[in-house]
Amino acid sequence: DAKTTQPPSMDCAEGRAANLPCNHSTISGNEYVYWYRQIHSQGPQYIIHGLKNNETNEMASLIITEDRKSSTLILPHATLRDTAVYYCIVTSLKWVRDAGGTSYGKLTFGQGTILTVHP
């Protein structure tokens, strides 16, 4: 799986857009970009994912550069409840195991970005 680099922390004012960057310069053609977040003491929560096109859902937007070497997660109107650790993960859905069988992509969580939303 490709390695990702995220800033360790970011701040954002409530009501403003939060833009969280992620670098994944070694991403392969079959690897997706996933974003998860973890609010304090809770299990991680899926946010959004994409391959090469920009994606939007009810939680966020994902902008992937044309060369796919970086992406940005956008929370359009951040609230205090968006304070969390945000993880950018790059993985393929499937890979061929050494034994010749087929297995499925794993999610490898790095350190993430601590986003703090201020009143």
Partner 1 sequence: NAGVTQTPKFQVLKTGQSMTLQCAQDMNHEYMSWYRQDPGMGLRLIHYSVGAGITDQGEVPNGYNVSRSTTEDFPLRLLSAAPSQTSVYFCASSSGLAGVYEQYFGPGTRLTVT
Helix residue ranges, H only, the chain: none
In the complex with partner 1, which residue's Cβ is closer, 25 or 45?
45
- The residue from 20, 82, 86, 87 that contacts partner 1 (CB under 8 A) is 87
Number of residues that bind partner 1 (CB under 8 A): 23
Backbone region of residue 90 per phi and psi (left: phi > 0; alpha: psi in -120 to 50; beta: other values): beta
46 binds partner 1 (CB under 8 A): yes
Report residue 62 as tokens.
Answer: 């994902």
110 binds partner 1 (CB under 8 A): yes
CA distances from 16 to 35, 47, 92, 114 (A): 20, 18, 33, 17
Nearest distance, CB of residue 16 and partner 1, angstroms:
27
- The residue from 26, 30, 54, 103 that contacts partner 1 (CB under 8 A) is 103
Q: What angle do CA 6, 54, 35 make, to 5 degrees?
A: 35
32 binds partner 1 (CB under 8 A): yes
Nearest distance, CB of residue 65 and partner 1, angstroms:
21
